[in-house]
A and B are shown apart, each in its own frame.
Chain A
Amino acid sequence: MNIDNTASQMRKGVLEFCILSIIKLGEAYPSDIIDIMKSANLNILEGTLYPLLTRLKNAEFLTYRWVESNSGPPRKYFSLTEKGAKFYEELEATWLELAGAVETITGKNKQP
């Protein structure tokens, strides 16, 4: 077991949740998503973001529209579908449950 691997596994597990929550705030462009995550100190490679977005889009949680850009080719702006919103709610519930549980357990640990 190496620590890097475990840490990245943990991080990646909540990646979809984070991405959905960013997009939920409003239409988002992938590089915006990266920026927001970076500012929250959650580093992610752009190369992993694109396949993730495509997968979510193929699962009909996301939809996108083309926006003309004055720097380069038109951009894809992603937004949440109804199904995606539902999915997000479920994820959120799971996350809160999990976070609560983890907090309780690790909190207990801290108290000797």
Chain B
Amino acid sequence: MKKVININFQGTIVPIEESSYELLQQYIESLRRYFANEEGKDEIINDIESRISELFQERLKGGSTCITDDDVNAIIKNMGRPEDFEEAESSENNESSNRGSDEKNKSFFQGDFSWKGKRLYRDENNKILGGVCSGIAAYFGIDPVIVRILFLVSGIGILAYIILWMFVPGSNSLENGVRKRLYRNPDGKIIGGVCSGIGSYFDVNPWLPRFIFLIPFISFFFRWGHIGPLTFPNFLSFSFSPGSFIVYIILWLVIPEATTTSEKLEMKGEKVDLNSIKNSVLKEMKEVGVRVGKMGQDVGERVGKMGKEAGEIAKEKSADFGKEIHSASRRSSGVLGKIIITLFKIFLYFILGCIALAIIVGLFSIAIVAIGLFPALNNFLFAEGWQHLLAWGTLIFFIAVPVIGIITFIIRRFARIKSSNRLMRWSFVGLWILGWVCFISLIVSVGKDFKSISSLNPEPITLINPTSKSLDVMPIENINYRRIGWFNFEPFDFGATDDTAFIRNVRIKITKSPTDSFQVSVLKMTNGQTRRAADTLLSLIKFNVSQSDSVLMIDRAITINTTDKFRNQNVEVTIAVPVGHFIKINKGFDYGNFVRFGPFFSGNDRWYYDNDDNGYDYNYGQQYVMKEDGLYTLDGKRSDGRDDWNNNSTEDQNESTPPGNNNGGSYRYDPNNKVDSLKNAQEKQLQKMQSAVDSMKAEQRKEVDKMKDSLNKAKEEINQKIEKLNKATALYQNTSEQKFSENYTFIMYI
């Protein structure tokens, strides 16, 4: 009893037994594979199909009700199987080899293949870039996917690839004899069938790859070779347990599952033809029989599955046909054209490769930074409960998902897996959206915790000998600031215990003392969810200041712990230096990483505004002396390096000094105008000129008449300039105001 189906074959309806139909499919596919490198392969296949169709019609007219296996076999025998005309082809290739150098390669190759042993060629038919990998795979008889992954993973892969691309000749007729391919094995799976598939690819017990994947977990258990929690080399090496986990997930996504019988056979490396499929199905049926014997159930389901599988094979095969029609071989004529095209391709691929590499590196570094920062942020920034959950969500869905997604995409591209993965794509997108939700709610939630600001009034420190000639500021070295590992993104230095961290938010400000004694004051500031919470946090900031002779010892860092969290705690030490006294800030305060979370121009940000208002610039480890008009180094330079500016202004005065010139009311800009820094500078300069002018009046009275004219000119010029400046600044004012009001960004200072 056989099922008969109707097929539309070359425009005619043919009733055919199902098994015969499979036979026919198989045959035509073998032809298609055989003629894959032929120029007019579609036409050839079409002609053959037409002929077969014609023969079918003859049979049907002869009285048969449908096409049977015998009919198909007879036709195939007449037509010949690819194996039958293999030898004929080789001689025909030799005949046609004078047509082009391409063909020459082909015949040479086949010659080599049969008697001289193998030669390495690039596989032009099966290429993604230059066919190097698939050529190597064909040479060694392995799955090109493996060679591609090795090239991708190894560091010198790209260079080696380019060199091989240039020097290895291409070939159009390379056939990778191995029909074994890497699949996930759904029948022997524990998690995703990855290990089982690898095992059957390498012909080893699936427990071997499983064990290799498990080693990191076992070693994790025994703590072998675990140096630090998340140092860089460990993160990528397999000795770090999540490493193999991630590798597993990527392989899971990349390697296709062997769902159909033909794929399962390919997985095991058996030759895919009808007989082996039949055998395998029969084998499975037998197993079913055993199971039926054992359980007496499940049969219908299983058989249904078989049928489905057969249908799937058919479906896939037809899809393959379609694909092959599209990839009809194109050959360009002319050697020069070929060279130009090749060069252009190399160039294009090089650029594309660079971009892809940059994206991957960028993603990796984002992921590594995020993972590196994560424990510190989790411990010292995010509150327990919801925020921790959101932080994990952000890490996994917002950062890890796109990284894995893009890596998967690239590997799939390289492995030439074209199966429709709409489900996977949408789940990636969905998870990433979830990641966004986590990320935004985390920011909002953390932002709330930073809402209020608390600061006490500066707390004066009484000095033992405030009038001493000089003061050295030294750090108290009672804290171990040593960092762990060479790869550290954490904003916090780890303390002696796991739940404390040091944060070096200590700033030292030097001002001029109004009296003749040193004055030191400490200002503590912090954020918090509420005013009260911030106040509590403020009281928890411990900051030690002590003095011995002319040395002031102050803490270099603030301690924070996991319960109180980091809420922008920071300390500002103001040292007022009397005129004529010396000050030195020890180098130990250098290299601090100032950490602060919060929006940029948030109005109520006190230390930000204090930053350069009354403090002087200085360098660590240098002695300074305070003078009337600022802080100077011992060899007489200003600490802020503005000497040049002063000199310039004096010269200006000499050139255009008007004796007896009045205060130059005309120089003044409209006071109603908005104040602008540019304008301020201009005004200052003018005022300085004016005062200098006054002091030099006496000396220069003689030259008055000569200079008057030039001065007037200069005056006019300056007027014009100021007018222009006013216009420009008014414009700038408008635009910049808009900008600043919108500028509200989440920024982290490290």
Contacts and interface: CB of A to CB of B under 8 A. Distances in A.
B706 interface: no
B95 A73 contact: no
Contacts of B57: 71-72
Interface string A8-27: 11001101100000000000
Q: Which of A13, A54, A55, A72 has the most CB of B within 10 A?
A: A72
A74 B53 CA distance: 10
Main secondary structure of the interface of A (DSSP, over half): helix
Nearest to B57: A72
B31 A47 contact: yes
Nearest to A4: B87
Contacts, number: 90
A47 B12 contact: no
CB-CB nearest 10 A-B residue pairs = A45-B80, A72-B54, A47-B80, A72-B57, A47-B79, A48-B85, A54-B40, A50-B47, A46-B79, A12-B91
B38 interface: yes
A103 B48 CA distance: 38
A75 B35 CA distance: 22
Interface of B: 10-12, 31, 35, 38-40, 43-44, 47-48, 50-51, 53-58, 61, 78-82, 84-85, 87-89, 91-92, 95-96
A70 B42 CA distance: 24
Nearest to B12: A72
Contacts of A50: 44, 47-48, 51
A58 interface: yes
Interface residues of A, number: 28
Contact of A73 (B44, B50, B89): B50
Given A50-B44, A72-B56, A12 B92 contact: yes
A72 B50 CA distance: 8
B95 A13 contact: yes
Contact of B10 (A48, A53, A71, A72): A72
A30 B92 CA distance: 18
14 contacts: A12-B91, A45-B80, A45-B88, A46-B79, A46-B80, A47-B85, A51-B35, A54-B44, A55-B96, A71-B54, A72-B58, A73-B53, A74-B50, A76-B47
A5 B55 CA distance: 30
Contacts of B10: 72-73
Nearest to A16: B95
Nearest to B35: A51
Contacts of A9: 87, 91
B12 A5 contact: no
A55 B55 CA distance: 24
Interface in A49-101: 50-55, 57-58, 69, 71-76
A30 B47 contact: yes
A45 B79 contact: yes
